[in-house]
Structure 1
Amino acid sequence: MNNIKPSNEENVEFAFGEVPQHKRKNLFSLILVLAGYPIALSNFVIGGTVGVGLKFTDAILALTIGNLVLISIVILTGIAAYKTGLSTSLLSKRAFGKSGSYIFSSLLALSAITWVALNGDIFSRLVIQTFDWWPLSVPLTAIVAILLWLQSAVRGYKGLEIISGVGVPAALILSFYGVYKVGQSSGGFEGVLSYIPASPIAFSTATAAIVGGWIFGATITPDVCRYANKKSHVFIAGIIAFILGCFGLQFAGVLIAISTGQGDFALAMASLGLVLVAFFASVFCLWTTQDNNIYGASLAIQNIIQDTKYKGKIKHKHIAVAIASIAAILAAGGIYSNILPIITFLSVLIPPVPGIIIAQEFFVKKQQAELMVNQKAMISWLVGSVLGYISLQAGFFIPAVIGVVSAGLCYILINTLTGQQNSQNVETKTEQDAKTIPY
């Protein structure tokens, strides 16, 4: 049998163009990989925070609203990715222009590296808390964890598919086993419906945490959805993946938090004697999420070097290794204590981008990839970021939603107004030319 080497485009994970039809994946594969991303430890934490801060019915309403927003973004950007076969970074190029998309790609890479490093730090602390015999320090454990996550990311979509095939069912089974055990414990879920929070949080704060916590994840799902075979697969996979991953795990977090009085999933499970269940659930939840972050960051970096002499010369796996290495260094350096300003910065700048991409693909349509910088998109991005920041500071509504919607609407409005102006200019010029034509 002849060994067929992957093409150069495959070596860079189709980072410079569309995924060809013969490389598209079936629905089951799409669901697995897409679900692997939101099946994350942070969703337990978000659910726990919402659970201890709201009445049960209000918590479920907040989860429903927040996840409907996320699923809408996943489906709309996913359809754009399916139609074009392009990654998140290349979709941004169609709206922002070449140089404009480099800024967004840099933010994507920075955000992904930040989350990988942060979760490496958190996981290393969990390991040491769980196993008192563990010989490695927090920094060294974080490095080991990130190198493990790299093993699937470095293999591209196929690697994500393999680890999701194992990690998604394992994480779900372990997580909901924990919920079942809570229900079987003394008291169980009897007091859930009558629960009154001791330190209530605002409903807007809860929905902001749900949407804000996963807006970045929803933004980069086109990296997976571009492998879809049919438009309907994007709908089905997006809905199932985020109901299982985001809503499902957040719902579990709500139940466990209310029943045990602990907003922290790991502490709640420990109080029930389920330390190992919590630990292994965390292993799979983190792995299926962080390999996606490394993968998405690699595609973003490829977009930045696309117009340089290095286009196609640096393989996906080499960039993935570099990204994981940077994240490992940051984790070992204790990024946990310095992360808040970075997360706040990114939470303001990233949400407007999917709004502009959606507006570009469904309303404006005329792609701007040949421009160096599309000023209309940059202005819209600025407007969305400023309004999102004001919303965040004022505690008004959901900052991420404000950023998405305002940027998208602004982009449509500017293109509509400038389009009408251009049409008027063309008509005026035509009338002037007609006057000069001799009869």
Structure 2
Amino acid sequence: MSSSIGNRDDVAPAAGEIDPDYPIDPVPQHARKSLFSLAIVLLGFTFFTPTMLAGAQIGAAFEVGSLIWVLLLGSAVLGVYVAAIGGIGARTGLTTVMMCRYSLGTSGAKLASLLLGGTQVGWYGVTVATLAGLTASALDWTGRGVEIALMIAGGAVMGITAYYGYKGMYALSIVSVPLLLVLAGWVTWRSLDEVGGWSGLTAIVPTETMTIAAAVTIVVGTFASGGTQAPNWTRFARTPSAGFWACVVAFLVGELLMLGFGAIGAISFGEGDFVLVLYQLGLVGWGLVFLVANLWTTNDNTAYNFGVAGAEIANSRSKKPFVIGGVVLGTLLAITGIYDNLIEYLVWLGILIPPLGGVVIGDFLARWRGGMPAASGLPSVEWRNLGAYVVAAVAAWWSNEAGWFIPPVVGVVVAVVAVLAVQRGRRPVAEPVG
């Protein structure tokens, strides 16, 4: 078999103007980005306030020595999984939902697009509501009208960089990521000073209890869904190794830093919300800067995700109409309060979405390592892999219900093994392009 379709510039595109973000096409070599560029964009994605809240929750249950190892283990599990699928995205040049066309079939991939895109719209609404609520609280603004106005403004602004695609997200992240690191690092230093340095921190006794498995599940769950869509950015990598290492930097190192900053701030100040820690230090202005930059760099990635998912469903060369539509819908969810009812549903992300990534990884290992076939030769539904996904999702659900091991990891591992089993010895449905 020949080289991957994502490494070729001569693949004939379909008719119509091509979006510079190539939502349904392999990214050509001339549009590929550097490792630094990818790492910055992905760090902007993983620098997320709820991740710090997760670190605070875990930090209350472990002594500092054990806490470090637990956070490292959870970040390593997440980082390895995301790096694996991110490397495949770099090799193929395709988004996650487009790779699902190869794994689930042209019609079967619609399930993945609806699941990935739909849940991202929900997350967009949750984040818009969070931003509006904390901003109103910080500025002591009251009234439902004010909150709605903040939701509309926040929803529109956060969608702008996603509308302009990779270029817009990179421009935002190159400014916000260093700022977030400086602010978080400074507060962590103040936190250590608050408790008498490292020795004082290590002397603090945990106030909660939690198993290591539960702690790792929380860490992995913070970005199990978002990480599954890492190929949406790593497909721009110049080499598969660049895509792999960009994910390691963002989802292992970046995730570990956010968890650590959140845990140390919470242990020292008794406050799990990092933004409120800034408020306690009298830094309301900087707290707002941190909040806006933190949520914006993640939510524009969220909007980008549902943009490319919509493009796959409609087989559209442009993601922009779907970015706009998703932003409007997500903002409406925030305004109407429906997002309150989505939280329990969003918990299912760690059960339903990682198995999709496992199917892609398993299918790539089983059939596509030598190259991707022409899209015209794909079946409508790849029933074997769809069955493997269902089995993996059920296994992840059972793991969650039984409290056994880490549900997202169970889903990924079962999916990979199941696909390798059902696809063993089967050749691709069509010869690779080239």
When normalised by structure 2's length, the TM-score is: 0.89
1:59-98 matched pairs, under 5 angstroms: 59-98=67-106
CA, structure 1 residues 354+9, in 2 after alignment: closer, same or farther (shift >3 Å)?
A: farther
Q: Which amino acid aligns with 1:402?
A: V
1:125 alignment counterpart = 133
Q: Which amino acid aligns with 1:34?
A: L
Q: Find out whether 1:210 has 2:219 as its counterpart.
A: yes
1:369-388 matched pairs, under 5 angstroms: 370-388=378-396
What is the alpha-carbon distance in structure 2 between the residues aligned to residue 286 and residue 147 of structure 1?
Answer: 13
Task: Select 1:393's aligned residue among 386, 392, 401.
Answer: 401
CA, structure 1 residues 72+24, in 2 after alignment: closer, same or farther (shift >3 Å)?
A: same
Task: Select 1:303's aligned residue among 289, 302, 312.
Answer: 312
What is the deviation of 1:133?
A: 4.4
2:257 alignment counterpart = 248
2:301 alignment counterpart = 292
Task: Select 2:247's aligned residue among 238, 242, 261.
Answer: 238
What is the alpha-carbon distance in structure 2 between the residues aligned to residue 168 and residue 210 of structure 1?
Answer: 21
What is the deviation of 1:21?
A: 0.6
1:352-367 matched pairs, under 5 angstroms: 352-365=355-368
1:164 alignment counterpart = 173
What is the deviation of 1:61?
A: 1.7
1:139 touches 1:334 (CA, 8 Å); kept in 2?
Answer: no
Deviations 1:329-366 (A, max 9, x none): 00111134212321133332111011111111123328
1:262-301 matched pairs, under 5 angstroms: 262-301=271-310
What is the alpha-carbon distance in structure 2 between the residues aligned to residue 172 and residue 200 of structure 1?
Answer: 30
What is the alpha-carbon distance in structure 2 between the residues aligned to residue 19 and residue 262 of structure 1?
Answer: 44
Q: Greater shift after overlay, 40-49 or 243-252?
A: 243-252
What is the alpha-carbon distance in structure 2 between the residues aligned to residue 199 and residue 336 of structure 1?
Answer: 29
1:104-115 matched pairs, under 5 angstroms: 104-115=112-123
2:180 touches 2:290 (CA, 8 Å); kept in 1?
Answer: yes
What is the alpha-carbon distance in structure 2 between the residues aligned to residue 133 and residue 409 of structure 1?
Answer: 53
Q: Greater shift after overlay, 11-20 or 117-126?
A: 11-20
Task: Select 1:410's aligned residue among 418, 424, 434.
Answer: 418
Q: Secondary structure at the match of 2:206?
A: coil
Q: Which amino acid aligns with 1:227?
A: F
What is the deviation of 1:142?
A: 1.6
Deviations 1:157-199 (A, max 9, x none): 1111111111111111111111122223353443322332222
2:195 touches 2:201 (CA, 8 Å); kept in 1?
Answer: no
Q: Which amino acid aligns with 2:278?
A: M
Q: Secondary structure at the match of 1:98?
A: coil
Q: Greater shift after overlay, 113-122 or 242-251?
A: 242-251
What is the deviation of 1:52?
A: 1.1
Q: Find out whether 1:33 has 2:38 as its counterpart.
A: no
1:144 alignment counterpart = 153
CA, structure 1 residues 9+65, in 2 after alignment: closer, same or farther (shift >3 Å)?
A: farther
What is the alpha-carbon distance in structure 2 between the residues aligned to residue 91 and residue 186 of structure 1?
Answer: 49
What is the alpha-carbon distance in structure 2 between the residues aligned to residue 275 and residue 60 of structure 1?
Answer: 30
Q: Secondary structure at the match of 2:117?
A: helix
Q: Greater shift after overlay, 68-77 or 180-189?
A: 180-189
What is the deviation of 1:64?
A: 1.1
Q: Greater shift after overlay, 109-118 or 339-348?
A: 339-348
1:63 touches 1:251 (CA, 8 Å); kept in 2?
Answer: yes
2:88 touches 2:240 (CA, 8 Å); kept in 1?
Answer: no
2:322 alignment counterpart = 319
Deviations 1:354-386 (A, max 9, x none): 111111112332868611111111111111111
Task: Select 2:334's aligned residue among 314, 322, 331.
Answer: 331
What is the deviation of 1:265?
A: 2.1
What is the alpha-carbon distance in structure 2 between the residues aligned to residue 279 and residue 208 of structure 1?
Answer: 30
- Which runs of 5 or more residues in structure 2 are unaligned? 1-14, 428-434
Q: What number of residue pairs does the alignment pair up? A: 407
- Which runs of 5 or more residues in structure 1 are unaligned? 1-6, 421-439
What is the deviation of 1:320?
A: 0.8
> Identity of aligned pairs, percent?
29
1:346 alignment counterpart = 349
RMSD (Å), alpha carbons: 2.0
Whose radius of gyration is greater, 1 or 2?
A: 1
Deviations 1:62-86 (A, max 9, x none): 2111111221122211221111111
Deviations 1:184-238 (A, max 9, x none): 3353443322332222122211111110111011111101000001223123322
What is the deviation of 1:9?
A: 4.7
What is the alpha-carbon distance in structure 2 between the residues aligned to residue 134 and residue 280 of structure 1?
Answer: 20
Deviations 1:87-109 (A, max 9, x none): 11111111111111100111111
1:118 touches 1:331 (CA, 8 Å); kept in 2?
Answer: yes
What is the alpha-carbon distance in structure 1 between the residues aligned to residue 40 and residue 426 of structure 2?
Answer: 42
Q: Secondary structure at the match of 1:54?
A: coil
What is the alpha-carbon distance in structure 2 between the residues aligned to residue 199 and residue 240 of structure 1?
Answer: 30
What is the deviation of 1:40?
A: 1.0
Deviations 1:308-338 (A, max 9, x none): xxx33xx322221111000000011113421
2:89 touches 2:243 (CA, 8 Å); kept in 1?
Answer: no
When normalised by structure 1's length, the TM-score is: 0.88
